[in-house]
Amino acid sequence: MTIALIVLAAGQGTRMNSDLPKVLHQIGAAPLVAHALAAGRSLEPERVVVVTGHGAEQVGKAVAKIDPEAQIVLQEEQLGTGHAVQQALPALEGFAGRVLVLYGDTPFIRPETLEGLAESTADVTVLGFEAADPGRYGRLVAKGAALERIVEFKDATEDERKITLCNSGVIACDAALLADLVNGLRNENASGEYYLTDIIEAARAIGKSAEVVTCDEAETLGINTRAELAQAEALFQSRMRAEAMENGVTMIDPSTVYFALDTYIGRDVVIGPNVVFGPAVTIESSARIEAFCHLEGCHISRGATIGPFARLRPGAELSEDVHIGNFVEVKNAILGEGVKVGHLTYLGDADIGEHTNIGAGTVTCNYDGVFKHRTTIGANAFIGSDTMLVAPVTVGAGALTASGSVITEDVPPEAVALGRAKQVNKPGLAKKLFDKLRAEKARRMKKDQ
């Protein structure tokens, strides 16, 4: 089955009370629209069209970053879901297959659900759900799986409002039929909008079949308020934790671990309490992440141990059996196999050779206020505590830097580098200085009384 996606992402989301377009609010460290696109991409669609409107420039930039192959179209006036789909149709010109219409603010529809929708043999298929509290959802008027029509809440009769089978808004339809039906929509309703839902009745009127495919209500959760956003975040995290444990990950206190949409963790990884994963983190099997770590944009190889209280930033690449200790930050740095960085250290824009030991308080001074510079340290080197490595600088394999050194020149392999200022002792000066300072403090206190 050849598939195309239309993702509706034009809404303002006034109840979010935000300058940010609704679909760019995040759960799992990714915009809502990224979740919808990820689910849709699981069907390997031939085309993806995203309809923007409110905050179109922002949304367009975000979508281009998330899915560079997606086509972005503009709905200049928000005249309803049917009108939004109509704006997408030119981008599907020449496409022959089934079109799925998704929503950028509905992040939890599972790929398996979308697959069932795509494989339906009906001319038009709608995704529905049994609602515990139907509220203001549109109702699906159906006989068994056969769908007669969809009625919006504000247009529904009292009897229709008693129906608990509700509309998710997600629809699958043949591309040519969808174009015919959408172009024939009218806006004679309470809102004066062109409802995509009206295509069901229109399809049946010309002898086409329509049916309902159902899913769990939780999959259809749409985000309209900050409270719903928080609810969605909690649901997302709960699902990710359950999936991780099912796949062989141990979490000491699962409720305190937070994942991103694209977090990948191998089996037999152990994660301590209060660990946060930002975007683009990959952890290979048998690694260990101790408590209170924050990781983003990094790759951790087998057998590595991280933390506690460590931060890995984008570009951190850790080879097998690397040890990162407490209060260590790594950014845009490649650490070879068996490197040890025990504590209180910053490694930025660096290449560290295998089995090198980095002492406490080491800093790669990589930024001069204008440019970033790189530090290179060879294999089996020993960097003494409180070493400042002023990049660009290279420390050769097997070399050693003395504690408290400021290294501004390259260090040859197997050499010892000392970069300390000469120590000068002034006998008796400390007592004189303290006596002077205490007298000044007493004078100021007396003056303030």
For residue 140, the model assigns a pLDDT of 94
196 and 263 co-located in one domain:
no
Nearest residue to 267 via CA among 245, 285, 251: 285
112 and 129 within one domain: yes
What kind and span of H or E run contains 211?
strand 210-214
Cβ–Cβ under 8 Å, residues 220 and 108? yes
Domain annotation covers residue 240 = yes
Do 189 and 245 belong to one domain? no
Based on the fold, state whether residues 18 and 100 are members of the same structural domain: yes
Q: Which pLDDT value is given to residue 136?
A: 86
In tens digits, the chain (449 residues) has pLDDT values of: 799 999 999 988 889 999 999 999 999 999 999 999 999 999 999 999 999 999 999 999 999 999 999 999 999 998 999 999 999 999 999 999 999 999 999 999 999 999 999 999 999 999 999 999 888 899 999 988 899 889 988 889 999 999 999 999 999 999 999 999 999 999 987 788 999 989 998 999 999 999 999 999 999 998 999 999 999 999 999 999 999 999 999 999 999 999 999 999 999 999 999 999 999 999 999 999 999 999 999 999 999 999 999 999 999 999 999 999 999 999 999 999 999 999 999 999 999 999 999 999 999 999 999 999 999 999 999 999 999 999 999 999 999 999 999 999 999 999 999 999 888 999 999 999 999 999 999 999 988 87
Alpha-carbon distance of 127 to 406, in angstroms, equals 65
Nearest alpha-carbon partner for 214 in 103, 113, 104, 118: 113
The domain boundary, picked from 220, 243, 272, lies at 220
Helix axes 56-66, 32-41, angle to 10 degrees: 40
Q: What's at 255, amino acid-wise?
A: S
Q: Is 343 a catalytic residue?
A: yes
Let me know: does 30 contact 262? Beta carbons within 8 Å: yes
Instruction: State the burial class of residue 421 (Cβ atoms within 10 Å of its Cβ: 0-12, 13-18, 19+).
Output: exposed
**Domain of 297: which CATH number?**
2.160.10.10
- Which residues touch 423 (CB under 8 Å, ≥6 apart)? none
435 occurs within a structural domain? no
In a domain, 211, yes or no: yes
Label residues 193-212 b or e (16+ Cβ within 10 Å = b): bbbbbbbbbbbbeeebebbb
Domain contains 122: yes
Residues 283 and 163 in one domain: no
Q: Which of 202, 220, 238 is a domain's end point?
A: 220
Whether 429 is in a domain gets the answer: no
Task: Please report whether residue 426 resides in a domain.
Answer: no
Question: Are residue 135 and residue 198 in the same domain, yes or no?
Answer: yes
Residues 6+ apart with CB under 8 A from 248: 266, 267, 268, 269
Within a domain: residue 448?
Answer: no
Look up the CATH number of the domain holding residue 71: 3.90.550.10
Same domain, 259 and 340: yes
- 259 and 208 within one domain: no
Mark whether 162 and 268 lie in a shared domain.
no
Tokens of 370: 């204008």
Same domain (yes/no): 202, 240: no
In a domain, 447, yes or no: no
pLDDT for position 220: 93
pTM of the model: 0.88
Domain end marker among 189, 220, 251: 220
Given a contact cutoff of 8 angstroms between Cβ atoms, the answer to whether 38 and 48 are in contact is no
Query: Exposed e or buried b for every residue in 40-76, given b needs 16+ CB within 10 A?
Result: bbebebebbbbbbbbbbebbbebbeebbeebbbbebe
Q: What is the domain extent for residue 91?
A: 3-220
Domain count, the chain: 2
Catalytic residue chosen out of the listed positions 54, 294, 343, 373: 343
Other Cβ atoms closer than 10 A to 15:
13
pLDDT of residue 155: 86
Note whether 182 and 250 are same-domain residues: no
Residues 282 and 326 in one domain: yes
Question: Within 13 A of 208's CA, how many CA atoms are on the CB side?
Answer: 21
